[in-house]
Chain A
Amino acid sequence: MAKITLSKLRHSYNPKPEGPDDYALKEIDLDWDDGGAYALLGPSGCGKTTLLNIISGLLQPSQGKVLFDDRDVTALPPDKRNIAQVFQFPVIYDTMTVFDNLAFPLRNRGVDEATVGARVHEIAEMLELDDLLTIRAAGLSADNKQKISMGRGLVRKDVNVIMFDEPLTVIDPHLKWKLRSKLKELHQRVRATMIYVTHDQTEALTFADQVVVMKDGEIVQIGTPVELFERPAHTFVGHFIGSPGMNILPCTLRDGQAWFNGQHIETEGPATGDGDAEIGVRPEHISLGSGPLEAEIVKVADVGRHNVVELRLGNSLIKAIVENDVPATGTRVAIGFDPARTRIYRGGRIASQPKERAR
């Protein structure tokens, strides 16, 4: 196990990159603490898999370094880094039994058979594969195959990090949560550093202690699931996490105060400067029936536990989550934003400072 440091990491698939657009990864500096459960979250094509492959050594970065416990491993091949990776599609060796599949990484490293047997049985028991050990792996279902992939990652005792690249993509929905909680449980048992790549916020938020959100080859925010939800550092995070995502509304700044549609909006705190900016407020933090603004109800969607109400105010569409009954569409209602959870963003980045810190 090790602490992993990424230092000034850049990568381009183009051998002669010209502009920043040619980079799949734009200057990443990041520390992964030993034993942490991390999620790497972002839309398809944001560079998550590239980053993962650089950590595992399948890919050589164009620039920058990868350090395991301050030891430079940038030039080392994957088998010398002592890492494990689970891929999107389960990789199993068709001709082998489940036992041989799990034993494969150990046997390749010349571990003696007695240790191999003990270790494989231990891992198989953890993953509930112990009944299947003598079966040929080819005929198993997708979730069992994926468990074998995970098992091959866990079977080596001293792996520095186990990486999961969207491992639940091909798993049936009703088994997804089961495998996910299994993973969480495994992390608590083996205490290895785990990095979980996904574009699914539910997977990221349930698995990880720390979520790293990426967009266009850059890290936009690192934080706990609560932090990401409560105070997104970037409008992208606000929009990407949450269902529906954060409302991002155009506003004007005067003396650090936000004005939206000619109305002063109270926010968590002032922002510096004047000019155009954006207000960010989550649908969960909008109340209907009272408040300084008036909007027209355009659409109401009952999603089961609550209603998602779409409102029009001037040129903006606002989404609000309402627990109780909603007036009919077409009616005009007063709405208000929870000031402590209303943020100001400029150029996409958070600009408002919470009152405590401002004081």
Chain B
Amino acid sequence: MKKQNQKAWFFVLPVLLLVAFNALIPMMTVVNYSVQETFGNNLFFWEGLGWFEKLLRSERFHAALGRQFMFTGMILAIEVPLGVIIALSMPRSGFWVPVCLVLMALPMLIPWNVVGAMWNIFTLPDIGLLGYLMNHVLGIDYNMTQDPFAAWATIIVMDVWHWTSLVVLLSYAGLVSIPEAYYQAARIDGASNWSVFRHIQLPKMKQVLTIAILLRFMDSFNIYTEPFVLTGGGPGNATTLLSIDLVKIALGQFDLGPAAAMSLIYFVITLFVSWLFYTLMTKDDE
């Protein structure tokens, strides 16, 4: 047998330690909590898979999960087509390119909690710009602290405002990488605008769009700060997304066991959907 140099393992060690401290060890503590019950004072009682079972049967969890999928589904359904349309209509060269890029990037540079606070003030019925406009100028009854529909509309519009740019910028990067000859050939071949989009632009954007959708899925599925600052999960439980519910259980009720079990299920769902999506999108590529 050939003798192999095993020294290379030492070079992997720093990364391994880093990952251990920032991911593996915290995660194992969560696993530890998820199978036990505690009343504080460092007293733990074995619970087995009980929390998981209860959680998966709990209507509260089903409702939060449903809201979470609804939120993510809606923002993806809006942000992806909108982002692609904006990217398609952006100029490919000239003075306006940097202007557009900076304008697009601006919302993404604002921290999450600031975005939430901004929109909170923006939508206040009597003094917020949007709230005042809706209630006192247009005469539409708009108060997101009372009306679940208004609350939902607001968190979705806020996320679209905050994150469509990501889809735009990634799509745009895909678009500008298409050589001019493709468009010229398509014109000569007599292709319609739709054909050009379907057979040239979309295939060339596929990879970046896959990444964009994946990032937007993960980010929106785990979203916490913005809706927490904006609506606090209300009115009632109307906008209590998974992460908000999780924090309520963990820190509000201090139910560490159920919260840990929920975290793990939450994590597995995110991981599974991401994996499924990525595998489906890339299975045609050699």
User: A residues near B, CB below 8 A?
Assistant: 53, 56, 58, 77-79, 83-85, 87-89, 91, 93-96, 104-105, 108-109, 139, 149, 152
Contact = CB atoms under 8 A, between A and B. Distances in A.
A105 B189 contact: yes
Given A78-B188, A89-B181, 17 more contacts: A56-B184, A58-B184, A78-B184, A78-B187, A79-B188, A85-B185, A88-B181, A91-B179, A91-B182, A94-B203, A94-B204, A95-B203, A104-B199, A105-B190, A108-B191, A108-B192, A139-B286
Interface string B64-100: 0000000000000000000000000000000000000
Nearest to A56: B188
Contact of B188 (A83, A89, A95, A96): A83
Interface string B179-210: 10110110111111001000110011000000
Contacts of B195: 108
A152 B188 CA distance: 10
A255 B130 CA distance: 92
B92 to A, nearest CB: 16
A162 B188 CA distance: 11
Contacts of A77: 187
Contacts of B179: 89, 91
B181 A109 contact: no
Of A53, A87, A89, A109, most buried by chain B (CB within 10 Å of CB) is: A87
Given A89-B179, A91-B182, A84 B188 contact: yes
Contacts of B184: 53, 56, 58, 78, 85, 87
Contacts of A96: 199
B203 A149 contact: no
Q: Give the 8 A-B CB pairs with smallest separation, nearest first.
A: A108-B190, A87-B181, A91-B185, A79-B190, A105-B189, A93-B199, A78-B188, A94-B203
A335 B200 CA distance: 61
Contacts of A53: 184
A104 to B, nearest CB: 5
A139 B203 CA distance: 14
Nearest to B202: A95
Contacts of B182: 91
A93 B190 CA distance: 14
A200 B184 CA distance: 24
13 contacts: A58-B187, A58-B188, A78-B188, A79-B187, A79-B189, A84-B188, A85-B184, A91-B182, A93-B203, A94-B204, A104-B189, A104-B191, A152-B185
Nearest to A110: B190
A83 B286 CA distance: 34
Given A108-B195, A139-B286, A91 B187 contact: no
Interface string B125-168: 00000000000000000000000000000000000000000000
Contacts of A94: 199, 203-204
B188 A85 contact: yes
A78 to B, nearest CB: 5
Contact of A87 (B185, B203, B204, B286): B185
Contacts of B187: 58, 77-79
A183 to B, nearest CB: 18
A152 B203 contact: no
Of B184, B200, B203, B286, most buried by chain A (CB within 10 Å of CB) is: B184
A108 B194 CA distance: 11
A243 B192 CA distance: 47
Contacts of A91: 179, 181-182, 185
B55 to A, nearest CB: 43
A7 B148 CA distance: 70
Contacts of A78: 184, 187-188
Interface in B195-235: 195, 199-200, 203-204
B243 to A, nearest CB: 38
A58 B185 CA distance: 10
Nearest to B200: A93
A193 B188 CA distance: 16
Contacts of A104: 189, 191, 199
Nearest to A83: B188
Nearest to A105: B189
A96 B203 CA distance: 10
A156 to B, nearest CB: 9
B286 to A, nearest CB: 6
B215 to A, nearest CB: 24
Nearest to B204: A94
Nearest to B192: A108
Contacts of B190: 79, 105, 108-109
